[in-house]
Amino acid sequence: MPAYLFPPAVVAGEHTVETVDILAEVRARHPLAPWLSRIESIAAATGIRTRRWMRSLEEASAPAATGLRMPDEPLARHALAAGGFTDGDVDRAVAALSAIPAPRTIEERNAPAWEAVQAYGERAARQALEVAGLAPADVDCLITSHSTTPALPGLDVALSNRLRLRDDVLLLPASQWACIAGTRSLALAADLVAADPDRKVLVVVSEALSTTYQSADDTLESLITRLLFADTAVAAVVTGRPRPGVCLRLDAAWHHTLPDTMGLHRLETRHDGVHFLMDRSGPRAVQRTVLAMWEWLRARHPDPDWHPDLLLAHPGGTRVLEYMQQTMPESWPAGLLAHSRDSYGTGNRGGAAVFDIVERAHRSGPKAGSRTVLYAAAPGLTATALEAEWL
Q: What's the alpha-carbon Rg for the chain, to the nearest Å?
A: 23
Q: Tell me, yes or no, if the pTM score tops 0.85.
A: yes
Query: What does the pLDDT read at residue 333?
Result: 93
Query: What does the pLDDT read at residue 277?
Result: 83
Largest distance between two CA atoms of the chain: 87
3-state secondary structure of 124: helix
Looking at residues 292-301, what average pLDDT do you find? 96
Strands 170-173 and 141-145: parallel
- Could you give the residue range(s) of every CATH 3.40.47.10 domain in the chain? 3-62+103-239, 248-390
Of 9, 7, 8, 21, the closest CA to residue 210 belongs to 21
Residue scoring higher pLDDT (67 or 355): 355
* E strand map for 79-149: 141-145
Q: Check if the beta carbon of residue 244 is closer than 8 Å to that of residue 133.
A: yes
- Secondary structure string (H, E, C) spanning 154-212: CHHHHHHHHHCCCCCCEEEECCCCHHHHHHHHHHHHHHHHHHCCCCEEEEEEEEEHHHH
Report the length, in residues, of the chain.
391
b vs e for 233-265, b when ≥16 Cβ sit within 10 Å of the residue's Cβ? bbbbbbbbeeeeebbbbbbbbbebebeebeebb
Mean of all residue pLDDT scores within the chain: 92
pLDDT band at 271 (very low <50, low <70, confident <90, very high): confident
Q: Check if the beta carbon of residue 390 is closer than 8 Å to that of residue 43.
A: no
pLDDT band at 284 (very low <50, low <70, confident <90, very high): confident
CA distance 264 to 285: 9
CATH 3.40.50.300 fits 248-390, yes or no: no
What topology is assigned to 3-62+103-239 in CATH?
Peroxisomal Thiolase; Chain A, domain 1 (3.40.47)
Query: What does the pLDDT read at residue 72?
Result: 66
